[in-house]
Chains A and B, each alone.
Chain A
Amino acid sequence: MKRHLISAADLSRDDALLILDTAEELGRIADRPIKKLPTLRGRTVVNLFFEDSTRTRISFEAAAKRLSADVINFSAKGSSVAKGESLKDTALTLEAMGADAVVIRHGASGAAHRLAGWVRGSVVNAGDGTHEHPTQALLDAVTIRRRLRGPGQDGRGLDGVRVTIVGDVLHSRVARSNVLLLSTLGAQVTLAAPPTLLPLAVGSWPCSVSYDLDSELPKSDVVMMLRVQRERMNDSYFPSVREYSRRYGLDATRMALLPEHAIVMHPGPMNRGVEIAADVADSPRSTIVEQVANGVTVRMAVLYLLLGGAELPGVSQ
């Protein structure tokens, strides 16, 4: 594996499977009464969050703490950053503190990439603008594999799994990372969205594209609903939230078009009643809570593998 995790494109199939399998192993440990492992004792992980994202931050924090790392949370609000300090100066400060890994969430695409050029430690991209969010894709892959294939899938990819990703692909870091990672793992990915919310050159992506959600649902093993921002309406990406919801929202009627075994995913936070109906979000097909749980184990696996922690019992590398 590379030193940083910035894009899902950084991961070969073997790298991705190693992370997935390691996460599964760590998940088994998480079921024990004492969840904490000593593997990253004495290592420092900085959570550098320039955007509010409580769920992602606490997920990384829990992951690092379960591996016994020292965790420093650095939130841009009210800090020197709010007073105009540059990303580079923040990076040099963290460098001076001896951060072994920096987990960065930032509103600008490429911020994680830039940071990696300024620090010696490993950089983990926890979401950069409208670019990528690779650990979200990894936790989605773990969730899909376990829900559709059951336990004991170590070493196996997602070959042949049909995944439909629905919504604002243009602005979604989750969609970018998932298209790359899931296709690396052998899944067949389809994007379903209004044309305004697809990148112009999406034809070069390793996936297919549809404007018609209803025709894709019967062919889907997984449907992944993306959060749609209400303010997109003001930029005329779609005429109204209601029209968006009618054409691309997943309600109970539409969910009935899915095959019996299919699952419904959402990276959160949800807009209930917009891209996903409450009935759907709370249905047994929904994996939303599992996604959160898998988020911690996947992030443990990423930190563990990047920082080369002490050997893990039961994990062969």
Chain B
Amino acid sequence: MTTSKWLIRGATIDDGQADILIDGSLITGIAEITGAGSGLTARGAQELDASGLIALPGLVDLHTHLREPGREDAETVETGTAAAALGGFTAVHAMANTEPVADTAGVVEQVWRLGRAAGHADVQPVGAVTSGLAGRQLAELGAMADSAARVRVFSDDGQCVADPLLMRRALEYVKAFDGVIAQHAQDPRLTEGAQLNEGEMSGRLGLAGWPAVAEEGIVARDCLLAAHVGSALHICHVSTAGSVEIIRWAKSKGWPVTAEVTPHHLLLTDELAVGYDPVYKVNPPLRTAADVAELRRALADGTIDCVATDHAPHPVEAKETEWAEAAFGMTGLETALRVVHKAMVETGLLDWRGVADRMSVRPARIGRLAGHGIPLSQGAPANLTLYDPAAPAEPVSPRGASKSRNTPFAGMELPGRVVATFLRGTATALDGKLTS
């Protein structure tokens, strides 16, 4: 196991090099290296040479499917959080579409406790907005908020809260406990049977089109609702340039709207569907190169607040089938930082300070998650990630800690490597491997 005292030597933080001293669960010292060194001494501490490595506050994922309870064949809290640790995450928000649905205090507490027991990363359950994700009546949002899991983010993810009145009520109701509604923006009527972004590829491949307007219409409506009732709205997995434009407009009005984008929507396009391999089938669907370019710009300028993986594990048989039969979703925890490196840092759109902001600080703030997303500083919880940006680009292996292998990045050469992850001073990953 790992010692509780660490001296991390020579890590890159923002523009400088620093030594970081961890004692127990806290960062007890952080000092820039000058000609005479940092002055921090390693008495009783295990030393870790971090020269050339970037230190980031531990990554926070606002959007993870851990599948437990119910689909333990695809993922468990144990395996999903192990994948998170390997990807540099110290906290994940577990989506509510489990079986049973996380729509009661009992289920969210169960998931929360499973996360504590696993120990690889903090698991913050997301509660369902409506009972059974059925879109008919509100789940007991207050009970979930008051439970040991202290739920603050509510989402019917996978389903859209399509009923405008129900959405209005949900937004209003969660104000009482500083909650946020995370909307999966998908007009159900406009996407009946939809398979692939509606455009040149869907027409050519004969796959039912998924129009951008099915997302944008809901985004626009919900921004207006959030403004009307003065409640916090978060837009899940924004995938179109049109949604970005609406969110930019809503933010310019000062409305309480935040948004996330997935790594896959920052890198992949619908052209990949050409071989009908359902590993590229995802909800919302992969869009066009123009959408990808706009999503990158929006993440860079802060219109989109954060990256969230929408890690969606599925067993092999759910993907080894005809496109229309296959499940929607891709894994993403283990590759997220490398994808962001390639899509945002290598392109010059974001520096590492920006990556820390979009993958740790802001998602923790949106998720109302105490103890995470705090810039590395003396007295802060020792949640941090060490990343080697100079590691030679290597093809992604589909086999990682996740139980599932439905990564669209398999075989793709991505830069960088997550070297170590610390959760409250305990190393959950070291040298790119799990510690326990």
Contact = CB atoms under 8 A, between A and B. Distances in A.
Contacts of A110: 205-207, 276, 322-324
Nearest to A115: B322
Interface residues of A, number: 23
B324 A108 contact: yes
Interface in A173-187: 173, 176
B200 A114 contact: no
Contact of A111 (B195, B202, B211, B322): B322
Interface stretch (A33-41, A150-158, A195-203, A211-219): A195-203
Contacts of A88: 320-321
Contacts of B321: 86-88, 114
A27 B261 CA distance: 58
A205 B206 contact: no
Interface in B173-199: 195, 198-199
Interface in B304-325: 317, 320-325
B322 A205 contact: no
B200 A201 contact: yes
A205 B202 CA distance: 12
A108 to B, nearest CB: 4
A13 interface: no
Interface in A61-111: 86-88, 106, 108-111
A113 interface: yes
B206 A176 contact: yes
Nearest to B208: A130
Given A110-B276, A200-B199, A173 B322 contact: no
B275 interface: yes
Contacts of A202: 203
A199 B323 contact: no
Given A108-B323, A109-B324, A204 B205 contact: no
B322 A108 contact: yes
Given A86-B321, A108-B323, A200 B209 contact: yes
Contact of A86 (B209, B276, B317): B317
A106 B322 CA distance: 10
B65 to A, nearest CB: 23
A129 interface: yes
Contacts of A204: 200, 203
Contacts of B325: 108
A131 interface: yes
A24 interface: no
A140 interface: no
A132 interface: yes
Interface in B257-294: 275-276
Interface in B385-435: none
A113 B207 CA distance: 13
- Of the listed residues A109, A128, A129, A204, the one surrounded by the most CB atoms of chain B closer than 10 A to its CB is A109
A108 B326 CA distance: 11
A171 to B, nearest CB: 8
B139 to A, nearest CB: 33
A201 B203 contact: yes
Contact of A199 (B195, B202, B317, B324): B202
A131 to B, nearest CB: 3
Interface residues of B, number: 22
Contacts of A109: 195, 205-207, 276, 323-324
Nearest to A169: B203
Contacts of B322: 87, 106, 108, 110-111, 114
A109 B211 CA distance: 18
A75 B222 CA distance: 49
Contacts of A106: 322
A113 B203 contact: no
A106 B206 CA distance: 13
Contacts of A86: 317, 320-321
A109 B194 CA distance: 13
Contacts of B317: 86
A204 B271 CA distance: 14
Contact of A131 (B206, B275, B320): B206
A162 B202 CA distance: 26
Given A88-B321, A109-B324, A132 B206 contact: yes
Contacts of A111: 322
Contacts of A132: 206
A115 to B, nearest CB: 9
A173 B208 CA distance: 13
A131 B200 contact: no
A199 B197 CA distance: 12
Contacts of B205: 109-110, 131
Contact of B209 (A114, A176, A199): A199
A106 B204 CA distance: 17
A200 B198 contact: yes
Nearest to A132: B206
B379 to A, nearest CB: 56
B206 to A, nearest CB: 3
- Of the listed residues A106, A108, A132, A204, the one surrounded by the most CB atoms of chain B closer than 10 A to its CB is A108
Interface string A117-153: 0000000000011111000000000000000000000
Nearest to B207: A109
Contacts of A114: 276, 321-323
Nearest to A173: B206
Contacts of A201: 198-200, 202-203
A200 B320 contact: no
B202 to A, nearest CB: 7
A170 to B, nearest CB: 8
A129 B275 contact: no
Interface string B198-231: 1110111111110100000000000000000000
Contacts of A129: 206, 324
Interface of A: 86-88, 106, 108-111, 113-114, 128-132, 173, 176, 199-202, 204-205
Given A131-B205, A199-B209, 16 more contacts: A86-B317, A88-B320, A106-B322, A109-B195, A109-B206, A109-B207, A110-B323, A114-B322, A128-B206, A130-B208, A131-B206, A131-B207, A199-B202, A200-B198, A201-B198, A204-B203
24 contacts: A86-B317, A87-B321, A88-B321, A108-B322, A108-B325, A109-B195, A109-B205, A109-B276, A110-B205, A110-B206, A110-B276, A110-B324, A113-B275, A113-B276, A114-B323, A129-B324, A130-B207, A130-B208, A131-B205, A176-B204, A176-B206, A199-B209, A200-B203, A201-B199
